[in-house]
Amino acid sequence: MKVGEYKVKRNYLIAQMVLDAVAVIIIIVICKCVISFGGFIESQNKLIHNSNNEVTGLVVWQWNIIWIVIAALVVLVSLLMIYLPRKQPKKYIVNKTNVQKYSDIVITAVTCVRIPVLLAVFEGMCIHQSVMVRNYDGIISLQIPLDILLAVIIIRFSIHRVRIIQPEKEEKKITLKEN
């Protein structure tokens, strides 16, 4: 892994391990919900078809698989952001002394932002499934805006942490020469 011209190593912190485990659990829950919803819809479709011999009213649940793909893409993008080389930031000074701290802050921020994004994907899946079964009660939720707000707060705190590790500028000493 590199940041600009400096090589850095991945410090895998316990907090990042916990966040990775939570991300895996959220993905498993999304997969389980899609599979359970598929079973529910198939049973409902069989009931409709057997009682009415109609094809109208049947719901195609396979479109729900897109939520598994979206969750996998979120994890893939976050892993690419962690492991691919990064450009040296233009706004901040990154040198040999603070490059490892900078890399750790960026990796922790990416790992932390992954959780609210996956929760927003889960909420989107729940809303989509409610619409598919024509259950419009409680479809408006504050979960997605709160997830976005949480991601913005995490990014803002990470930027603040990067500012803290910046080297102090040396002030020029003005000396008066006596004649």
The whole-model pTM stands at 0.79
**Running along the chain, 179 residues long, what does each successive block of 10 average in pLDDT?**
76 86 94 88 76 67 87 94 81 80 87 93 89 78 88 91 76 52
pLDDT attached to residue 156:
92
C-alpha 13/C-alpha 111 separation (Å) is 11
How far is residue 113 from each of residues 20, 44, 107, 154, measured CA to CA in Å?
A: 11, 37, 10, 7
156 close to 109: Cβ distance less than 8 angstroms: no
Identify the pLDDT of residue 21.
93
The predicted structure's pLDDT at residue 66: 92
Which pLDDT value is given to residue 55?
62
Residue boundaries of the structural domains of the chain? 2-164
Give the pLDDT of residue 86: 78
String of DSSP letters for 39-51: HHHHHHHHHHHHH
3-class state of residue 158 by DSSP: helix
pLDDT of res. 78? 93
Strands (E), 27-160: none
